[in-house]
Amino acid sequence: MKPGKPSIWWSDEEFSRFCALALQYDINPVYVKQIIARHRLRPPADQYTDQWPYPVKIYTLGRFRLLLNDSPIQFSGKVQKKPLELLKILLALGGRDVREELLTDALWPDANGDAAHDNLRTTIMRVRKLLNTKEAIHFKEGKVSLDPEYCWVDCWSFERMLKASEFEGPILDYALGLYHNHFLPDEPDSYPVLSMRERLRNKFVRTIQRLRAQYEKDSLWDKAIEIYRRGLEVDDLAEIFYQGLMRCHHKLGQQSETEKIYRYCHNLLKEKLGLAPSSGTRQLYQQLSGSSRFN
């Protein structure tokens, strides 16, 4: 039997889902990816993970990484700064249907209209060459988009999974696992980057909060502690996570841990920011411990 679709009556969408499940459970992934390439299958609409063999994969949470056909991009000569800058600013602005003027204002603030347009068009051509996939980026009717059928982006997947998830199960766990650190943390603090960084950070914090609320409601204090510590691995200055840890350890009768957490938070904020904990954190500590120390 010739390798290919197992049944001729399967639609491409059904076959794509079958392949996605095989990749998810690590069933002969090399062969499955060959089938996907042979039949030019599109990823399922609800494909979230990076297991599907997208031609382009872009990682922005924690650091910027660009993979082509699952291999890190290799530069034969000088690093192409402007195409990479365009990709980063495009993603900071959402990555899809981004107005031309927003990109040109960020990348060529001193250029006039025609010059800025020509610069953008030329740089998009360079991006297509860099990605070795013409269909990966579109420039149409004054708007620029990355194509989600050809490009997988970690922050897109993070947001889609949070939207689709009911805040439980493996989808949410994978989403939080994607959030290694904040959006493009090594990039200059331009408005588009800062705005996207704060937007994603807020979603991360809200997700932690919703999970802990469920765990605390069910008196699953150890699970709540785990999720708070997971949050601190990403953002060790988020007082809301320290507050949650203190509440959980207090519920478990671990008063020494409650004091240790407050002490650590107090010293870290003083060292990094030159600030004391907020009044909310101080009041919670005093309420839980009956102490007025570290004010």
Look at residue 295 and tell me if it is in a domain.
Answer: no
294: in domain: no
Q: Cα–Cα distances in Å, from 31 out to 13, 172, 224?
A: 18, 28, 40
- Kindly state whether residues 192 and 264 are assigned to the same domain: yes
Query: Whole-number mean pLDDT of the chain?
Result: 89
Highest mean pLDDT, choosing among 64-73, 86-95, 210-219: 86-95
- Per-residue pLDDT band for 4 (boundaries 50, 70, 90) equals low
Helix (H, G, I), strand (E, B) or coil at 177: helix
* Whether residue 124 is found in the same domain as residue 231: no
Whether 19 and 61 map to the same domain: the answer is no
Q: What is the mean pLDDT of residues 145-165?
A: 92
Residues 132 and 210 in one domain: no
Q: Are residues 138 and 257 in the same domain?
A: no
Residues 79 and 145 reside in one and the same domain: yes
- Rounded CA-CA distance 102/98 in Å is 7
Q: Give me the domain span that covers residue 31.
A: 1-47
> Packing angle between helix 169-178 and helix 191-217, nearest 10 degrees?
140
Question: Domains in the chain: how many in total?
Answer: 3
- DSSP-based three-state secondary structure for 183: strand
Question: Would the pTM count as exceeding 0.85?
Answer: yes
With a cut of 90, say whether residue 181 has pLDDT above it: yes
Residue 66 tokens, joined: 């660009």
Q: What is the pLDDT at residue 197?
A: 96
pLDDT tens-digit map of 20-73: 889 988 899 999 999 998 888 999 887 788 999 999 999 999 999 999 999 998
In a domain, 240, yes or no: yes
Structure tokens at 168: 């439980």
Task: Measure the CA–CA gap between 17 and 15, rounded to whole angstroms.
Answer: 5
| 61 in Cβ contact with 158 (< 8 Å) | yes
pLDDT (0 to 100) of residue 169 = 59
Beta-bridged to residue 153, according to DSSP, are 58
161 close to 175: Cβ distance less than 8 angstroms: yes
Partners of 66 in the β-ladder: 58
At residue 87, the pLDDT reads 97
Residue 183 and residue 144 share a domain? no
pLDDT in tens, 101-151: 999 999 999 998 899 999 999 999 999 999 999 999 999 999 999 999 999
